[in-house]
Structures are given as C-alpha cells and as structure tokens.
Amino acid sequence: MIIGLLSIFNLYSYIQVPLDGTLDPGKTDILSPTVKKGDPINIRIQGSIFNITVLNPNNELIKTELTSNISYNLIPTVDGEYTITIHNIGDSTLSIKGTAFTQGNSSSLIGHIMLIITGVVISALGIKTRPK
C-alpha cells in the first residue's frame, strides 16, 4: 500500500527522461514532453536530411528548420506540453539523442490505484486471519 502511495507521488513529479531513438527514412516522430518553465529540453539529431518543428503549449511556433544535423537546447518559457515533430525526408536513418524533464503520465493512474487497493485487501485479510 505504501508503495502505491509513493508511486502516485512520483506520478506527479518531474523527472529527467531520455529522448533517444532512431527514425527511418520517410517516417515522422512526435515527441511531446510536459515540462515546467525553465526545465531544459536538449535534443541532438544527426544523419539524413530532416525537418524539425517545435511548438509551445499554446501551439506557437518556436523553431522550424530543414537540416541534417542539429543540437538544440530549449529553455521553456511556460509550463505545459511542448511538441517536437521530426520528419525524416532523407534516405538514411536519423539518430536522436536528448533529455527532457517531464511529468509522469496520468493515464497510468489506474495502475497506481490498483496497487493501493491490493495493499488494503492484503492488509485486511492479514488482520482477519490473525489467530486470537
């Protein structure tokens, strides 16, 4: 039960996560970290020619660039979900490396709740079956 409560706390904490991967030719990848103002988003992309577009939580354009190599450091000016769209228009695979501080995913809340319920049920069964 305590683990479930601690996991809910972690769900609403901001943690640094990697933004690492590859992107095949002709494919598009959308990264959408939910960040707090001032927490950096760092991304480095190398390889084939690609287009990168960055939008803030208000869907305002921050950056768009057509290139084959970029090292981009964004310091968010507002809290919320930023959208980074990478479209590989070249003929080779892209290498994507980076980090962002992001909030836990609220859609996983049901798993945390089930963990707490399981802890309560097990505790109740333990109390009920205790010898007198």
Domains, in order of start, for the chain: 15-103 (2.60.120.380)
Confidence tier at 4 by pLDDT (50, 70, 90)? very low
Q: What are phi and psi of 11, to 5 degrees?
A: -60, -35
Q: Are 84 and 31 in contact (CB under 8 A)?
A: yes
- Decide if pLDDT at 106 tops 60: no
3-state secondary structure of 19: coil
3-state secondary structure of 37: coil
Confidence tier at 1 by pLDDT (50, 70, 90)? very low
What mean pLDDT comes out for the span 34-51? 93
Tokens 């507002």 -> residue = 78
The Cα diameter of the chain in Å comes to: 75
pLDDT digits (tens, 9 = 90+) for 17-28: 888 899 999 999
